[in-house]
Structure 1
Amino acid sequence: MKINEIVAEKFSFLEDNLRQEMCNYGVLKMADPDKIILEIRREIQLIPFIISGVAKVMRRDGKGNGIFLHYLTAQQTSAIAITYALEIKNSEIRIKAESAITYIGVPVKTVNSWFVKYNSWRSYYYRLNYKQTSFLIEKINDIAFESLEYRLLKYLEDASLVYNDNTINRKHFDIARDLKVSREAISRVLKKLEKEEIIILGRNKIILN
């Protein structure tokens, strides 16, 4: 499909002129799993609009430490990245392809101009910002008040919903890094959940019953 056909199909809720600008200025890109499409402490040049696949938004400190924030799926972009771009600041998040993804990269200057020109863009951004902020507040609440077992099960359920699949292909190390806990703690809780017949453990995969 051509970029104008993709934009018409995926972003039909946006105004005609806005969609035309997305086609005129945007670049259709593809990324393999684990490809970083926006890096921390780098200038934000393009805002990625996901067409297909799943991307992961993370906060990293540059020393190997980090935490998973939320996913991006079709018809979504990162409200956080847009906010940094509006303030002309370097990115404080990493966006990485979780699966093979297709996305449209639109220059920051173009995206910023949409706030003045298009009501549908402002509505889209505010909805996206509300949804992603609510998710982050919920995550902070879980870290502060909930057990690791609760957080882990919720993490697996979220991944299952995003991929529409009860099988989550994920290493214990990757889960531990996303939840900012030790791999040993994750393995221990996963074994407990398996014993309770809530999940089935396989090689680098977890099946939700």
Structure 2
Amino acid sequence: MKKELLETFESQFEQSLIDEIVAEGKLVEVPAGEILMDIGNYIRSIPLLLSGAIKVLREDDEGDELLLYYLEQGETCSMTMACCMGQTKSEIRAITETETEIVMVPVQKMEEWMAKYKGWRNYVFESYHNRLNELLHTVDSIAFKNLDQRLMEYLIKKSEVTNDNCIRNTHQEIAYDLHTSRVVISRLLKKLEKLKKLKLHRSHIQIIDL
């Protein structure tokens, strides 16, 4: 685990902090499609992402989901940190988008390292800043962009985090992430196909030029 931590966090964390993470953390390998944390659960550990990607979702009162943002290598979830510090239940759902390696750090270490390590403090503050910007981007997209634009951004981002120009989600799964209906997504995908932006296959969507 130490080798992976050094490769991911060497430029951010002090050597002594990496040693503590190795001693206190637990390395977990998670396949794609697994729920790492769910709405209503208490959070006991902070995830540090070594490889892969995680999507973070919000759910409304009717059970419909909205994709908030993705977590990628070297990142953590600031919402998780906020729940840990406030000892409150999770208000988000985190699902692995790809096969993922994570170091789970006990929550009690968070405050200790905040006082002890400048690298950890900077990492936590940067995480809050990045997640806030992504949330603002999500709000702006919903408020100011039409669904065509949101769908294209969604497909581009998913391709980036999976490092694959083939999107292997169903139209219904995409509709859930964008908080709309499958019929609307299917219609927009057909429109993009006619524009030669993508190619629809039985099992996947191939991005050509978005």
TM-score when normalising by structure 1: 0.94
Aligned to 1:41: 40
Aligned to 2:102: 103
Question: What is the distance in 2 between the residues matched to 1:167 and 1:129?
Answer: 31
> Following superposition, which runs of at least 4 residues in structure 1 exceed 6 angstroms of deviation?
none
Does structure 1 residue 136 correspond to structure 2 residue 138? no
SS of the aligned residue for 1:203 comes to: coil
AA in 2 matched with 1:184: V
SS of the aligned residue for 2:75 comes to: coil
**1:190-205 equivalences in 2 (<5 Å):** 190-205=189-204
Aligned to 1:4: 2
**Any stretches of 5+ residues in structure 1 without a counterpart?**
none
**Is the contact made by 1:172 and 1:204 (CA closer than 8 Å) also made in structure 2?**
no
Aligned to 1:117: 116
Question: What is the distance in 1 between the residues matched to 2:101 and 2:9?
Answer: 14
Does structure 1 residue 84 correspond to structure 2 residue 83? yes
- Deviation string 1:89-108 (CA, Å, 9 cap, x unpaired) is 11111111111111110111
Q: CA deviation at 1:61?
A: 4.2
Question: What is the distance in 2 between the residues matched to 1:59 and 1:47?
Answer: 19
Q: CA deviation at 1:135?
A: 1.2
Aligned to 1:16: 15
Aligned to 2:51: 52
**Any stretches of 5+ residues in structure 2 without a counterpart?**
none
- Deviation string 1:100-139 (CA, Å, 9 cap, x unpaired) is 1111101111123221111111111222221221111011
AA in 1 matched with 2:34: K
Equivalent pairs, count: 207
- Deviation string 1:154-194 (CA, Å, 9 cap, x unpaired) is 10011112122222111100100000000000000000010
